[in-house]
A and B are shown apart, each in its own frame.
Chain A
Amino acid sequence: MSAHYTATAKALHWCIAVLIFGMLGLGFYMTGLDLSPTKLQLYSWHKWAGVTVFVLGLLRLVWRLGHPPPALPQHMGALERFAARAGHLTLYVLMFAIPLSGWLMSSAKGVQTVWFGVLPLPDLLARDKALGDLLQTVHLSLNFLLMAVLAAHVGAALKHHFIDRDDVLTRMLRRRPD
């Protein structure tokens, strides 16, 4: 097991991080707009970027299987280790579950998802208003869960850096010293 993240793992982590923070902002902003061409455009962009997160998430997962992350620092207790693993697992699950719920919601609302306006994703659900509304609630709830876990994730990274003064944050940031 290497003591470092690969450059690919770091690139994927930060790409997805930027996309997810952007998506949270975009998601809440666009739903509050009155219907307009801009709103429709933002919805499409939201879907395209969301599917991109899903695809990058898949790449990331596959990469991780071949390139295990560095070990957690020695000073962490059993509870901290458990919390870290559970938090990371939840983030991975949400990375897929949120786009998936969005895609299914779109289908149920009768709007096919066409990635970048070019690649149509199959509609796994038929148009069904009640189901669409339910999936919208699911999408929203998963996003609230995401925000809570992200707050803990960012908080933990800062605690590692400023209080524990270990390399947990810097090893995800710095180029590998060689």
Chain B
Amino acid sequence: MKRSALALLSTLAFASSAAQAVEYNHVLAEQSQIAFGYQQMGVSMEGGFKRFSSQLRFDPAAPDAARAMIEVDLASVDTGSAEGDEELARKTWFNTPDFPSARFESTRVNALGGNQYEVAGTLTIKGTTRDVVVPATFTVAGDAGVFEGSLNIQRGDFSIGEGAWKAFDIVANDVVIRFRITAVAK
């Protein structure tokens, strides 16, 4: 929390000193997606989340001052089957009644050159917080800036799938989270 408050402060400080720079700070929900993929007995499965909120401040000229926060409403999961969606809400999976959302919060953004970035931050799911580094690209499309990237996590690290689901022979441990966040300057 302290760290993110600092990040926010530095962002604000930067924003006031360089008011003429383009800062992408208003996320367009309809043009943003968060999806995930995993393997189930050799079959690639796809799913997504219908609802999430995100806050973003990003000025390509000053990536150091960038900040991102994404909060995913886990009850909005879409696995493609009602049975799967209900199962994921249970205690053994997301335990949505107790942990309704998953949250990513950036701590640092590194520009890697070109349109490549590395967003370090914390990912919290089901009460477990882990440091992650998310590779992302940023491209300008008209008025909007589009962030795209993916993050590989292991569901076991966050106790997603307990009890009978704890073994990884049927539902694999590796999960890739793919995102596309579109933002405009406001």
Residues of A within 8 A of B (CB): 35-38, 40-41, 44, 109-114, 116-118, 127, 129
Contact = CB atoms under 8 A, between A and B. Distances in A.
Given A35-B83, A40-B41, A110 B171 contact: no
Given A35-B84, A37-B171, A118 B42 contact: yes
Nearest to A48: B41
Contacts of B81: 109-110
Interface in B137-186: 164-165, 167, 169-171
B118 to A, nearest CB: 32
Tell me if B's interface is mostly helix, strand, loop or mixed: mixed
Contacts, number: 44
Contacts of A116: 42
B127 interface: no
Interface string B62-84: 00000000000000000011011
A37 B43 contact: no
Given A110-B46, A111-B43, A37 B170 contact: yes
B45 interface: yes
Nearest to B90: A35
B80 A112 contact: no
In this complex, the interface size class of chain B, counting residues with CB under 8 Å from chain A, is 10 to 19
Contact of B80 (A36, A38, A44, A110): A110
Given A109-B80, A110-B80, A127-B80, A37 B42 contact: no
A129 B83 CA distance: 13
A110 B44 CA distance: 10
Given A41-B170, A127-B80, A36 B164 contact: yes
Given A110-B80, A127-B80, A40 B170 contact: yes
Contacts of B164: 36-38
B41 A117 contact: yes
Interface in B34-52: 40-46
A112 B41 contact: no
A41 B43 contact: no
A40 B44 CA distance: 14
Given A37-B164, A114-B43, 8 more contacts: A35-B83, A36-B164, A40-B40, A40-B171, A110-B81, A112-B43, A117-B43, A127-B80
Contacts of B40: 40, 44, 111
